[in-house]
Structure 1
């Protein structure tokens, strides 16, 4: 019988950690896609029947936005706790809350059954879920990457990054299958509930894996230092690392805005502006998501070989070029040309998203890594991700159907992202157990570590 070496045991633990992280991220995006779909179609009829159709849709979509708005608070509080009590314990809590709220949404009585309490409970569940998701995103990434061998962090990062497009494909396929195999009345009555309730399987598997994952070596090492007792993670993140947080947030604004542009706005643009049939538009989006999965994995792997900075700069430059051609290629209405445009656009955007987890994790020291990463990640989603579909629709209307105003905005965000990558350091292979910053602009953390040790 072969005895497990420390290296083999460490790698096995790293594999469990990345499995736990991908399951949590997959559940997050699975819920995002499911709720986004039913919020515009099913929920207005079941939870807001007293309103006129337009007001009902707006009210339903508002519950979707409430969940997004709760994420920053979750990121701030969970980030602070994750830096104080550990990644593992917090991740067990967030994935449990995510699963419970998803199941409760699937079992929630409608307006016809309990009246005004139905939409009220729906809003409360969305707030709780958004709070948990705010902490889950960064925590899952750190649990995987702080366990990962230095030469495989990019690979693990790409696996985490692919969850968004993969979950979009799975969630849409589930909804399409259910709606195609059930009558409209059955789907309205209980069919839409099935995916929410079934997500409990993902949760149980996620909890099982996370229970078997040990606390990360970086956090264990940090707890041995005096800084663990004297440091204040959230306060220290703002005070000592605000420049790095801002730079990473501005970097990720570009990929975040372009991802939401592709998966939310493009579908509307194809059907409403170009007159492309909905079924064709849906197939194009599925192809684009498949390319995004490849882009995420390739981005992570390439960053292990050439470094985070070079891989990100190349992907950002390629995305900018494709952005200039994107709408003219869609305007041809040729299926092959549109598929090529969307595939390249999503693919190179997702190359950056696949590198994001490891780029964020490596640039911050252990004692504030959770707090600082969560602030940067959530800030980009809040300022660039959520608003872009609405802003894009307004710019298209302002330009009388011309997309060039939108191209200018997205191009500017992409150039800003490129600049933030260019001025940052290379972080591949850096020691993840350190308590000092990787950047000179936040070198004050050295003084904090020395002061705490004195």
Structure 2
């Protein structure tokens, strides 16, 4: 069941990230012309990237609602619901009329669909992680975490491979007219496969055990997460602001920077992103394996320090316009960023008790996307424009994000070996908790 759970989580999450990633790629290249043609090019690009950010902004709402029900009714049921919503919104996005056809209603509908897509992903990401890790043997949680962490770069490879193939075999006019729509509509078939796989997975042992305690009746996941674990939520969110911002800078902004600022051909940009994401997959798996050996904290600190050094050279390397140099820089940058992302699922799962694990993890994960991941491409575009094409303002931003992550990792505890079956038992002294035994009102078990 553990292997089935990690397979279901990995494949299902990768399929959902495929849809989400696909939008990020076309937002940087195609959508400015189709949905914001009345604006000048830079403003249109900023507006298009802002719609990408809207999807990320909706993720905390999905995290709150799905986290609450995930901690109340179980991980498995929520995972089936989120993947269904993702599939429907993707199909509708592929069929959406453009600005030339329905005017201002086109970008409005685009934003609505992005909100629904972000809501679904906000609940899905954490649910998939917990489904796998709460089934995993304690000695192999890091390895399972690394496999789950590779979903985002894997989806990047799939999405960019599809777009690259379509753009190679279609004229520019045909690709901009209907070619970009094909993967959105076709992805619904893949989502059906994800639903089928998840139906075969049972509820997690940790949640089943939690349902036997007073926490399942007396606890309120959202309230208890904020009341008892708000410091942990904030610390984990600030830690992940660095990796998530750097990931979106690499996969969303870098493509725009290469093609629009440096004049690199679009197909070359797609190839570079595919190479970088292949390195990211290796980094994610390696990070998970290493964290099982030396601990989550030490592995994260090493990866964060390495990312900081590479980040200082990243944009100057891109400016060489040499394919090999750009590929090495992007590959190393993504690999060490993804080492941290590969450890994130297990680090988040181990730091929270079962009764608030879905809620706490989802709030920290999506909070990082809201405050750092979503705005990152927009802020990066603005900084480059303000610097008249110079990337040094952006380099300073990347360095600051790395330092923030490093500090949050350093002040946190080591979580390797924590018991995933532990629950909170301090539910307050309200009358509705009168049936809870006094010995069960301690903060932790």
User: Normalization by structure 2: what TM-score?
Assistant: 0.89
Q: Compared with structure 1, are the counterparts of its residues 331 and 176 closer, same or farther at alpha carbon in structure 2 (3 Å cutoff)? A: closer
CA displacement 1:228-284 (0-9 Å, x = unmatched): 101010011011100000110111111112112222233333344444444433332
* In 1: Cα distance, 2:338 partner to 2:171 partner: 37
Structure 1 contact 324–407 (Cα < 8 Å) conserved: yes
Partner SS, residue 192 of structure 1: helix
CA shift for structure 1 position 407: 2.4
Once the two structures are superposed, the pairs formed by residues 180-329 of structure 1 within 5 Å of their partners are 180-329=168-317
Given the superposition, is the C-alpha separation of residues 176 and 414 from structure 1 closer, same or farther in structure 2, using an over 3 Å criterion?
A: same
Alignment of 1:169-180 (within 5 A): 169-180=157-168
Point out the more displaced range, 100-109 or 377-386: 100-109
Partner of residue 155 from structure 1, selected from 143, 150, 154: 143
SS at match of 2:367: helix
d(CA) in 1 for partners of 2:51 and 2:378?
Answer: 16
Query: Which residue of structure 2 lines up, in the alignment, with residue 421 of structure 1?
Result: 409
CA 1:141–1:318: 2 relative to 1, 3 Å: same
Distance 2:94 2:105 in 1: 15
Find the aligned partners of 1:397 and 1:90 in 2 and give their Cα distance: 42
Q: Does 1:80 align with 2:88?
A: no
- Larger deviation, residues 54-63 vs 374-383: 54-63
Shift of 1:111: 6.0
**Is residue 435–residue 446 contact of structure 1 (8 Å, CA) maintained in 2?**
no
Identify the range of structure 1 (103-112 vs 89-98) with the bigger mean alpha-carbon deviation: 103-112
Secondary structure of the residue aligned to 1:199 is helix
The match for 2:128 is 140
Determine if contact 1:226/1:452 at 8 Å carries over to the other structure: no
Residue 361 of structure 1 corresponds to 349
SS, match of residue 16 in structure 1: helix
What corresponds to 1:7 in structure 2? none
- The alpha carbon displacement at 1:386 in A equals 1.4
Residue 432 of structure 1: how far off its partner (Å): 0.6
Q: Which deviates more, 129-138 or 393-402?
A: 393-402
Structure 1 residues 230-239 or 148-157, which shifts more?
148-157
Please list the CA deviations of residues 115-135 of structure 1 after superposition, one character each: whole Å capped at 9, or x if unmatched: 766554443322222211111
**1:130 alignment counterpart:** 118
Superposition deviation, residue 328 in structure 1? 3.4
| Alignment match of 1:28 (pick from 2, 9, 16) | 16
Deviations 1:319-338 (A, max 9, x none): 11212232333344433332
Is the contact between residue 435 and residue 445 of structure 1 (CA under 8 Å) also seen in structure 2? no
Look up the SS of the partner of 2:334 in the other structure: helix
Superposed CA RMSD:
2.7
For these two proteins, the number of residue pairs brought into alignment is: 435
1:389-428 matched pairs, under 5 angstroms: 389-428=377-416
- Comparing 399-408 with 305-314, greater Cα deviation is found at 399-408
CA distance in 1 between partners of 2:107 and 2:439 (Å) = 50
Residues 10-56 of structure 1 deviation map (CA, whole Å, 9 limit, x = unaligned) = xxx1122112211232123211232223345554665567x457576
**Structure 2 spans left out of the alignment, 5+ residues:** none
Deviations 1:113-154 (A, max 9, x none): 667665544433222222111111111111111111111111
The worse-fitting range, judged by mean Cα deviation, of 370-379 and 160-169 is 160-169
Cα separation, 2, equivalents of 1:406 and 1:73:
29
Query: Structure 1: any 5+ residue segments left out of the alignment?
Result: 1-12, 438-443
User: Whole-Å Cα distance in 1 between the matches of residues 411 and 288 of structure 2?
Assistant: 21
